[in-house]
Amino acid sequence: MKISFEIKDKDIAGRIGNLEIKDENKGISKIIETPTLMPVYGLNNPILSIDELKEKFNAKILMTNAYVLFKSPDKNKVIEQGIHKFLNFDGIIAVDSGSYQLMKYGDIDMSNSEILKFEEGIGAEIGSFLDIPTLPDAYKKIADENLAVTLKRAKEAKELNLDMMINAAIQGGTFMDLRAKAAREISKSYDLNAIGGIVRLMEEYRFEELIDIIVAAKKNIRASNVVHAFGLGHPMLFGLAVAWDVIFLILLLMPYSQKIKGILQITEQRKFQNLNICHALVWYAAIKILLIWTSMPSPYTIYMYLMKKSEGLSRQ
């Protein structure tokens, strides 16, 4: 399985392009334009059917959970039919390894190699190894230990020589030196890099730290690599995510009652003008991006860039 990325246009640090995943053994090639929304299909409690995702949302890619499939009564059926026939979806299917369950419950009863071989066996185009997410407020020692295990499992996944792309997780908590280290090591072996352990930051509106994490990763991976961010599904961040060159934007399909609960929590907890906070984040992200991509950044360069963007906003 090979991945290629054709750039069609770019601005700031974002790129619009065609992402192709080619299975040379089967002679199959699938292409999607990125950035794109990637719905997460909940196997135990689907809110929208696969047909609805295809017909109403024109979904070309979706994500589901390999660990949940492995533990379901339909496990043998999935193995026999393959995940595409089982879900009745011909597009690109990415699967999560069970890292979310690991973070939520503290442990799962599967090994890294076992879940990887299952992902390959059911025919997913994009799989993932069993990385160890670190919560944002964890001590650095914990983050370092978790990262060591994650990198070990990344190496194991590479040595298995699997016939699928790996959505290789970059961990490290909120420690930028660990994030940089993870990005360098992961991008040496994998073309598709996924920034993990960020959901709690979005839930708590810690966007400045989130920007720092994505920037630390982008600075230390190969420019030709493509980037995904696990769980990046906050609507306020979609525009910024595209500017950071995050190609998959997660569409979480939650029950309606959960959506209402989330809106009420946001309204009660956050008493600010959304427009003002978004503008502040845009300027903060723009400066961070310039420091990466401008060959000789200077205060004058940043000033002129912001002035140009401000003029464009005022004309709209």
| Active site (catalytic) residues | 96
Closest CA to 230 of 244, 248, 243, 242: 248
H or E segment to which residue 283 belongs: helix 274-293
Neighbours of 148 (CB within 10 A): 13
Using only C-alpha atoms, the chain has a radius of gyration, in whole angstroms, of 20
SS3 291: helix
Closest CA to 243 of 194, 288, 298: 288
How far apart, in whole angstroms, are the C-alpha atoms of residue 242 and residue 285?
12
Type of residue at 42: G
Instruction: Tell me the DSSP string of 87-100.
Output: HT--SEEEEE-SHH
Closest CA to 42 of 61, 65, 74, 60: 65
SS3 107: coil
Q: How many residues does the chain have?
A: 316
Closest CA to 39 of 177, 316, 257, 233: 233
β-bridge partners, 140: none
- Compute φ and ψ for 263, nearest 5 degrees: -65, -40
